[in-house]
Structure 1
Amino acid sequence: MKAFIISGAFLFMAGSVLAQHSNVHVGLKGGLNISNIASSPNAGFDAKAGFHAGGLAHIHLNKQWAIQPEIMYSGQGAQSNDVKTRLHYVNVPVQLQYMFDRGFRIQTGPQLGMLAAANVQQGDVKTNVKSSFKTAELGWTIGASYVGESGLGVDARYNYGITNINDASSVNLYNRNVQVGVFYVFKHKY
């Protein structure tokens, strides 16, 4: 949680400085996660709902292209029968966006995830399992978004974990996450 607060403060300060440049706009975002953990060999996990929230900086490179770094809290994990695995990440995706006319965008890019907390809950018993997972994860994202003239927009993306997150055994585990949300870009212009 401390890393999230420090990272958020850094993004806010950096965004405030960058926002003085006309090609840079800062914003807030949040929404729903539908996450799962893929395993090799297959452990049979089911998807789990969570949420994400954070900030963004939208940096226009030219009329069609932009880079959008973000920092956000992301509640991820999976479930199996009555066991829920909850992974709490501070994610930093850096999206390369192609902007069509009138607010439509497609985006892709790398994402670094820093594990803030991890627990397993079975019934009423909750166990800290952070030491069973690696502290950092690398993934790749792909998605699309639409932003209106007001700066209010919607976003959908798929986050594909590339690196094994399991630090405890020979089973490889990978994050998979679908995100759907809303965002607001301050002083937005097409």
Structure 2
Amino acid sequence: MKKITLTLLGLVAFSTSALAQQEVKFGPKAGVNFAKINGEIKEDGETIKLDKGQVGFHVGAFAEIKFNDKFAIQPELLYSVQGGKAEQSGSETIMGQTFAYEAEAKWNLHYINVPIMAKYYVIPSLAFEAGPYVGFNIKSEVKTEGTLTMAGVTESESATEDMKDGTNSIDFGVGVGASFNLDNGFFVGARYNFGLAKISKEYTETVEGIEYKNPAYDIKNGVIQISVGYKF
């Protein structure tokens, strides 16, 4: 019993010493997202690419747990607005009438993202980072705007559709990036989040009493994040 007690006391002393050697800093971070959706939507024989970029934002907090001068782990909790955009234009002739159209569709996706980055400090002011993230979708909608011009008359139309039922609630992927750290606690970071999970899922909607089955599309998130933050 005495030997077990001494062993436990030794483990506690070692753990306390190891934790004391770690440097832990906390702080806020925020920035801009340059987002797009990678992949294609195929509908009625037509292929739509949501490959046009759109601007969003992210804001949240982080903790940097530094084990030594070179290595650290940085978990984060971020609210992130991302998505993708598609643009189409052209003209058609029906029954002798020619009309021109322009349309834009934005898929706005709101997530609570939890990245866990492993960091390596090349020099005290410059760190490279990589690690996984998981995201929880809290809002998903598609906004469409378009114009139709015929015989010199232009009509505009816009609509917003809730896409929560057609969006997977969980997203995950890998982030890679770098940060430049100042002596006063401020830092600037850049990161690319490469989504590995499909955004879309199969769902059924009812329009005017008729049920339509929508398939899951092979589309994934891709986001460039530019951040500023402060370490306390």
TM-score bracket, normalised by the shorter chain, equals: 0.7 to 0.9
CA deviation digits over 1:84-130, x for unaligned, max 9? Answer: 11000000000000012231000000000000100111134221111
Any residues of structure 2 matched to 1:20-59 within 5 Å, and which?
23-40=23-40, 43-45=48-50, 46-59=52-65
Contact 1:138 1:162 (C-alpha < 8 Å) held by counterparts: yes
What is the distance in 1 between the residues matched to 2:200 and 2:163?
A: 11
Gaps of 5+ in 1: 1-19
2:174 to 133, 140, 160: 140
| Paired position in structure 2 for 1:177 | 223
Q: Which whole-Å deviations, capped at 9, do the CAs of 1:122-179 have from their partners, x for residues lacking one?
A: 1342211111010001110000001101110100010000111211224211000000
Q: What do residues 23-62 of structure 1 show as CA deviations (whole Å, max 9, x unaligned)?
A: 1110110111011111156732111100000000000022
* Residues 117-132 of structure 1: pairs in structure 2 closer than 5 A: 117-123=139-145, 124-132=158-166
The percent identity for this pair of structures is: 31
Q: Greater share of strand residues, 1 or 2?
A: 2
Query: Which residue does 2:106 correspond to in 1?
Result: 84
- CA 156–118 in structure 1, closer or farther in 2 if over 3 Å, else same: same
Larger Rg: 2
Q: Contact 1:102–1:148 at 8 Å: present in 2 too?
A: no
User: Would you say the 8 A contact 1:35–1:77 is kept in 2?
Assistant: yes
Deviation beyond 4 Å, 4+ runs, structure 1: none
Distance 1:129 1:147, change over 3 A: same
- For the 8 Å contact 1:31–1:182, the answer to whether it is kept is yes
Q: Distance in 2 between matches of 1:69 and 1:22?
A: 15
Number of residues of Structure 1 aligned to a counterpart in Structure 2: 167
Query: In the alignment, is the contact (CA less than 8 A) between 1:139 and 1:159 conserved in 2?
Result: yes
Q: Is 1:70 aligned to residue 104 of structure 2?
A: no
Q: Aligned partners of 2:48, 2:82: CA distance in 1, in Å? A: 17
CA contact (8 A) 2:179 2:187 kept: yes
Q: Which moved more, 1:87-96 or 1:39-48?
A: 39-48
Give TM-score scaled by structure 1 length.
Answer: 0.83
Report the secondary structure of 1:131's partner residue.
helix
2:198 paired residue number: 164
Relative to the length of structure 2, the TM-score reads 0.69
1:11 corresponding residue in structure 2? none
Range with greater deviation from structure 2 (119-128 or 143-152):
119-128
* 2:39–2:219 Cα contact (<8 Å) kept: yes
2-side partners of 1:102 and 1:67: how far apart?
15
